Amino acid sequence: MKNENIKIIDTELLSDNWYTLNKVTFEYHKKDGSVETQSRETYDRGNGATILLYHKQAKTVVLTRQFRLPTYVNGNENGMLIETCAGLLDQDNAETAIKRETEEETGYKITDVKKVFEAYMSPGSVTEILYFFVAEYSKEMKVGDGGGHHEEQENIEVLEMSFDDAVSMIATGEIKDGKTIMLLQYAQLHHLLD
């Protein structure tokens, strides 16, 4: 549904070096009848998907650890972040993309995934919508080492840990990634590992 109160006047490309950064100028028709012209920058990197792999009987989850430059330049001392497996859709639908990313990053080949919700993660500046999934895993599903694609300069460490430890790491600050916290809390609220 189109918002009748918004009229885009101009979109100026500021950068397409890695992804796309645009400056969008628009008119905002306010409730009092006045019209305000505003400009905002939007960063478009495409949409993505993320997944929490869990083993109900063992009460474990599979997470990843990798270097994230934006966190490093904003106070994360070593730049390493513990996260749920995730990746861009790259023209695929969300379910196909997360199955692909799961195998690339963790080495697990999963077939049954459940979409649990979707969310804009940083709506003040980033256009991305993220699709959230959960799936059970077992040792038999392990088909490779994971670690990501070398040609994409991915150096991903695969972590298997107890669900309780992962949840505790939110409180200690060892897990600071928003999507990971959301999926771990989803698992808690819905008793996925009970």
Question: H helices within 116-177, ranges in order?
Answer: 163-172
What are the percentages of helix, strand and coil residues in the chain, rounded to 5?
Answer: 25, 40, 35
Confidence of residue 148 (pLDDT cuts 50, 70, 90): confident
Which SS3 state, helix, strand or coil, does residue 135 take? Answer: strand
Instruction: Return the closest-CA partner of residue 101 out of 119, 83, 116, 117.
Output: 83
> CB–CB of 84/50 below 8 Å?
yes
Token code pair at residue 127: 């256009």
pLDDT in tens, 155-191: 899 999 999 999 999 999 999 999 999 999 999 999 9
The pLDDT of residue 80 is: 96
Read off the pLDDT of each residue in 95-106 and give the average, rounded to a whole number. 96
Question: H helices within 23-172, ranges in order?
Answer: 69-72, 94-106, 163-172
pLDDT at 67 exceeding the cut of 70:
yes
Give the list of residues 6+ apart from residue 160 with CB closer than 8 angstroms, or none. 60, 61, 62, 63
Q: Cα dist. 11→15, 42, 114, 125 in Å?
A: 12, 10, 37, 14
> CB–CB of 165/115 below 8 Å?
no
The mean predicted confidence, pLDDT, of the chain is 94
Confidence of residue 151 (pLDDT cuts 50, 70, 90): low
Single pTM value for the model: 0.93
